Structure 1
Amino acid sequence: MEALSLSIPIISVTNSNTNYISLSASTNYASLSSLHHRSSSSSTRPFTLKKTVVRVQAESEDFELKQVRDMAAAKKRWEALLRDEKIKILTPKEAGYAVQLSNKPLLDVRPSNEHNKAWVKGSTWIPIFDVDSGLDVGTIPKKVTNFAMGGWWSGMPTLSFDNSFLPKVVEKFPKDAELIVACQKGLRSLAACELLYNAGYSNLFWVQGGFDAAEEEAFEGTVPLKFAGIGGISEFLGWTDQQRAVAAKEGWGYRLVFSARLIGLFLVADALFIGAQQIGRYLQEIRTH
């Protein structure tokens, strides 16, 4: 088996029945065959708000079903690439050794919202998917689906494929380079490895589990990397696994901050409810006079 040029063990993949990674049908980066953007223009416009809502809902459901199918197909492709060792596996610890001790190139393919929170010294950041800030007809259904499927809780924004990803990688790295590819949880980096392999890269190393699975000493740079992938209401309230782990070490002083936030959230919600009632009564009085 081909391995990195340093004395660390490389995990081999021999059992085709092994579950290499937990795949979620809610991700929006499963199908590399559908990475090209759809046209955001439309020649028809709904005449009423009701028609717009119905159409957006239907498109959201179609998008969700497509994600399920794409993820199933992607899982088969990725398992085959790992099983045949066309893409090699590294643990975060092994990848850290390779980067820190042997100066092997680390390609960080995370979106900007995660990279801005934490980064690895010496890594090259080229996102394969980045935050989609568009508000056109083509992106609204995706945003609605992402929000409804937990974006409000996790803080994960809607992502779209970056068409400049492959050209930027080709410009930066030769195709025979030993390239370590990583993301936050491991899915986007696996998608990137598939794309790079199809483009002719032959020495690809995938960081299994991503930065979420890395210990603080594994990589040099902004730490802890595990906190780069959290956000939304769950991060605000301290209800993520990463924050619970820190709370277990830090004790009540750390937990009190998030308890205060929870109490504050309830007070704000109560104030908004009372305010809405008062406005309702005021409007009712206006109508009766």
Structure 2
Amino acid sequence: MEALSLPTISVTNSNSNTYISLSAATNYASLSSLQHRPSSSTKHFTMKKSVVLVKAENEEDFELKQVRDMAAARKRWEALLRDEKIKVLTPREAGYAVQLSNKPLLDVRPSNEHNKAWVKGSTWIPIFNVDDGLDVGTIPRKITNFAMGGWWSGMPTLSFDNLFLPKVAEKFPKDAELIVACQKGLRSLAACELLYNAGYTNLFWVQGGFDAAEEEDLVVEGSAPLKFAGIGGVSEFLGWTDQQRAAAAKEGWGYRLVFSARLIGVFFVADALFIGAQQIGRYLQEIRTH
């Protein structure tokens, strides 16, 4: 992006005998100095001012860029679906294809979702996977992800797997009838686009992902229901996810009481921590006064 360039401006006020110099660098405006020069005296008094840096807004807002990128991706995906270059299946249709026709199902979810539940006989190759790195570039991303809602949803920091296409190529030829699925449907659609551009021509996308599947649609293995594989964090602990609310409507009050008890427990713990902090503060204050 072209840098913002500000000219050097000099302003002389003859009435007040004040000389002001404004100089500008590429991205900053700098108030460099203020000198007062009386005409009737040989004495010079120089006042040094602190340099004020004002960063120019010459970069597009990151969140706005993300929105634009997603909008562009959606247009590409809609075109692929509209032209039937990628065919659409419901979770039930995908289940029939896997169970009755032995069609391969490619699970592109990250490990935190796949390890909870998976479709029997599916092949797991994540397009994005959990980033376990602790390098200088990863730690700020982890902090940002946690602060922006990761603590609530339980979603870890993910990174694109550059070996996704080679891994798929090792398992499936490009003429294979490949069913691609993820938890909600977005990552699998992105995977379908990559696979189509790589030469795969018989792609089937599971619309809505596993979140849209009913229990009888797919044969599932793992420790949790398939719909619950994508939840986590504080929202799962308190039972405030859509999946848990739907389950509560079916299971009744017994299911709800578990999470109600957890919520009450959270309030008790928060109250105890608050009272404890007050007591510690008073104790430290007494130590200082003695």
TM-score with structure 1 setting the length: 0.76
Higher relative contact order (CA 8 A, sep 6+): 1
Aligned position for 2:133: 134
* Greater Rg over alpha carbons, structure: 2
In 1: Cα distance, 2:275 partner to 2:88 partner: 56
**Equivalent position SS for 1:97:** helix
In 1: Cα distance, 2:125 partner to 2:258 partner: 35
Structure 1 residue 202 displacement after superposition = 0.5
Contact 1:63 1:142 in 2 (8 A): no
Q: Which amino acid in 1 is paired with 2:141? A: K
Listed one character per residue, the Cα deviations across residues 134-161 of structure 1 (whole Å, up to 9, x for unaligned) are: 2333234433432333222111111110
Structure 1 residue 63 displacement after superposition = 4.5
In 1: Cα distance, 2:219 partner to 2:145 partner: 33
Listed one character per residue, the Cα deviations across residues 73-126 of structure 1 (whole Å, up to 9, x for unaligned) are: 211111111111111111111111000110000000000000011011010000
Structure 1 residue 243 displacement after superposition = 0.9
Aligned position for 2:184: 185
In 2: Cα distance, 1:146 partner to 1:68 partner: 17
In 2: Cα distance, 1:209 partner to 1:256 partner: 30
Structure with the higher strand share, 1 or 2 = 2
In terms of mean alpha carbon deviation, does 127-136 or 117-126 score higher?
127-136
**Equivalent position SS for 1:205:** strand
In 2: Cα distance, 1:243 partner to 1:109 partner: 24
In terms of mean alpha carbon deviation, does 204-213 or 131-140 score higher?
131-140
Contact 1:130 1:162 in 2 (8 A): yes
Q: Which amino acid in 2 is paired with 1:86? A: K
In 1: Cα distance, 2:277 partner to 2:133 partner: 32
Aligned position for 1:170: 169
What percentage of residue pairs aligned between the two structures are identical? 91
Q: Which amino acid in 1 is paired with 2:278? A: Q
Aligned position for 1:252: 253
Structure with the higher helix share, 1 or 2 = 1
Structure 1 residue 247 displacement after superposition = 1.0
Aligned position for 2:271: 270
Q: Which amino acid in 2 is paired with 1:186? A: G
* Paired residues for 1:140-289 under 5 Å: 140-222=139-221, 224-289=225-290
Q: Which amino acid in 2 is paired with 1:198? A: N
**Equivalent position SS for 2:119:** coil
In 1: Cα distance, 2:74 partner to 2:133 partner: 29
Contact 1:175 1:200 in 2 (8 A): yes
* Paired residues for 1:12-161 under 5 Å: 63-161=62-160
Return 5+ residue gaps in structure 1 as ranges: 1-57
Q: Which amino acid in 2 is paired with 1:98? A: A
- Report the count of equivalent residues: 230
Alpha-carbon spacing, 1:158–1:138, altered in 2? closer, same or farther (3 Å): same
Aligned position for 1:14: none
Contact 1:63 1:141 in 2 (8 A): no
Q: Which amino acid in 2 is paired with 1:127? A: P
Return 5+ residue gaps in structure 2 as ranges: 1-56
**Equivalent position SS for 1:212:** helix
Structure 1 residue 62 displacement after superposition = 5.4
Structure 1 residue 282 displacement after superposition = 1.6
In 1: Cα distance, 2:63 partner to 2:161 partner: 21
Runs of 4+ that moved beyond 3 A: 61-66
Taking only aligned residues, the RMSD between alpha carbons, in angstroms, comes to 1.7
Alpha-carbon spacing, 1:147–1:182, altered in 2? closer, same or farther (3 Å): same
Listed one character per residue, the Cα deviations across residues 159-199 of structure 1 (whole Å, up to 9, x for unaligned) are: 11012211110000000000000000000000100111111
Aligned position for 2:48: none
Aligned position for 2:52: none
In 2: Cα distance, 1:71 partner to 1:141 partner: 23
In 2: Cα distance, 1:212 partner to 1:218 partner: 11
